[in-house]
Amino acid sequence: MQAPSNQGDSNQTQSTVVAQQVGVMLSNVETIPGKTIVQSLGVVTGSTVRAKNIGKDFLAGLKNIVGGELTGYTELLQESRNEAMGRMMQECLSRGGNAVVNVRFATSAVAGGAAELFAYGTAVVVQ
Amino acid sequence: MESIFFILFYPLVIFGPIIFSWVAGNMYQNGKLKSAEDRTNTFLNHHKKDIVSNLKNPFPETTIQTSGLVIANISIGPSWWQMTAGGIKSIFGGKLGTYERVMHLGRMEVMQRLREEAIRQGWDEVINVRLDTATVKSNQNGKNKSSAFEIFAYGTGIKKNQ
């Protein structure tokens, strides 16, 4: 696989970095474009529940005066989603797969101030 | 003397924050919306077409070299003024213009982030884009003076065979 450039060290590129470190390819279509699936290994999932800390909560509350983007939450959700994806990739590796296809994400508020981020897909072996 | 104080300053104490939120919030959000629209237009003019689509395959069918997941998100909240105005309007029902504006700003921004992220990772196009909206924190009966929702976009970045 030709490595796409990931020079930026912002949160936005972290998922790609994790995926490349673990060595699992991801896609949200039924195939890995450009590869052939030889074996399907079933559904793999990864989830994480995160709560905001009081400081971030307070700052976000202040930001609500003018509205707009709440950067603290954006970063927190990004980090948590990367962790959920990481766990999904770990499960895929432990089953002996090297790619996850048809990845889907779900978010739900499980308790006041906490959110569950959930990623799932089908682990496959591709060539 | 004291009655004058109350007449002049009591309304200011009560309505001051909401008026400040109205004026500052409108200025801030209009600036952000304009910036998102400008970036989108510049991007589309530069690339001659939109690189994101929610089709399963790239439209002029081509052979694909490599692919990978691209994700972008934003969490965004309405201002106090927008929450209050939306709350009052929701008694009568109908269109909640203030909330519409916040959602529009969020969608514009997240789509543009997805395009920029795809270009930064070196993909030519993004296919099968999905958009997701989730409530992170809600304004329950006015008790909680803040509210936030997350807009999340993901798709498969592809690199075409030249």
Instruction: Kindly write down the DSSP assignment for every residue of chain A, as one continuous string.
Output: -PPPP----SGGGHHHHHHHHHT-EE-SSSS-TTS-EEEEEEEEEEEEEEE--HHHHHHHHHHTTT-EE-HHHHHHHHHHHHHHHHHHHHHHHHTT-SEEEEEEEEEEEEETTEEEEEEEEEEEEE-
Model pLDDT, residue A70 = 86
Q: What string of pLDDT tens digits covers the 127 residues of chain A?
A: 334 444 444 444 455 556 556 778 899 998 888 889 999 999 999 999 887 766 777 777 778 788 888 888 888 888 888 889 988 998 998 999 999 999 999 888 777 667 788 999 999 999 8
- Tokens (6 digits) for B57: 């395959």
**Per-residue confidence (pLDDT) for residue A9, from 0 to 100:** 43
pLDDT band of B140, cuts 50, 70, 90: low
Contacts of residue B71 in chain A, CB cutoff 8 Å?
Answer: 12, 15, 81
Q: Which residue of A has its CA nearest to B75?
A: A74
Q: Is the pLDDT of residue B45 over 70?
A: yes
H or E element in which residue B61 lies: none
Its ipTM equals 0.79
**Choice between B50 and B9, residue whose per-residue pLDDT is larger:** B50
| Between B78 and A2, residue with greater pLDDT | B78
Average pLDDT value for chain B: 86
- Residue B160 DSSP symbol: E
Q: Which residue has the higher pLDDT, B87 or A38?
A: A38
pLDDT, residue A123, reads: 94
pLDDT at position B95, please? 85
- Give the range among B91-95, B105-109, B125-129 with minimum mean pLDDT: B91-95
- Sheet with A37-51: list strands edge to edge: A25-26, A99-111, A114-126, A37-51
Give the containing element (helix H, strand E) for B130: strand B125-137
Which residues in chain B have their CB less than 8 angstroms from residue A8's CB?
120
Taking residues B22-27, report their average pLDDT: 88
Complete domains list, chain B, with CATH: 2-160 (3.30.110.70)
**How far is Cα B121 from Cα B157, in angstroms, rounded to an integer?**
9
The CATH class for the domain spanning A11-126 reads alpha beta
User: A residues 21-80 near B, CB within 8 Å?
Assistant: 25-30, 32-34, 60-61, 63-70, 73-74, 77-78
A57 or B64, which is more confident? B64
The DSSP element (H or E) to which B40 belongs, if any, is: helix B2-47
Q: Quick one: pLDDT at residue A43?
A: 94
Strands A25-26 and A99-111: parallel
Residue of B nearest to A58 (CA): B146
Whether the pLDDT of residue B41 is over 50: the answer is yes
Residue A19: what pLDDT?
56
Which single residue is written with the structure tokens 């989108």?
B40
Please give, rounded to a whole number of angstroms, the shortest distance from the CA of B55 to a CA of chain A: 10
What is the reported pLDDT for A62? 79
Q: What φ, ψ does residue A64 adopt, rounded to 5°?
A: -65, -15
How do A114-126 and A25-26 pair as beta strands? unpaired
The two three-digit tokens of residue A34, written as one number = 């450009």
Closest-CA residue of chain B to A69: B76
Q: Which stretch of A71-80, B11-20, B76-85 has the lowest confidence by average pLDDT? A: B11-20
Chain B residues within an 8 Å CB radius of A77: 73, 75, 136, 150, 152
Strand partners, B125: B158
Of residues B82 and B13, more confidence is placed in: B82
Contacts of B120 in chain A (CB under 8 A): 5, 8, 12-13
Q: Do B154 and A5 touch (CB under 8 A)?
A: no
CA angle B13, B15, B19 (to 5 degrees): 120
Identify any residues that bridge with A124 across adjacent strands, giving them in sequence order.
A40, A99
Q: Residue B132: which of A84, A87, A117 has the closest Cα?
A: A117
**B69/A19 Cβ within 8 A:** yes
Give the phi and the psi of residue B120 in degrees, each rounded to 5: -65, -35
* Contact call for B156 and A15, based on CB within 8 A: no
CA neighbor of A102 nearest in space, from A86, A83, A116, A88: A88
Q: How far does Cα B3 stand from its chain's mean position?
A: 45
The mean per-residue pLDDT over the stretch B89-109 comes to 88
Instruction: Encode pLDDT of B145-156 as tens digits.
Output: 667 888 999 999
Nearest CA-CA partner of B66 in A14, A124, A35: A35
Q: Which DSSP category does B143 fall into?
A: T
DSSP letter assigned to residue B101 = H
- Counting residues of chain B whose pLDDT is more than 70, the rounded percentage is 94
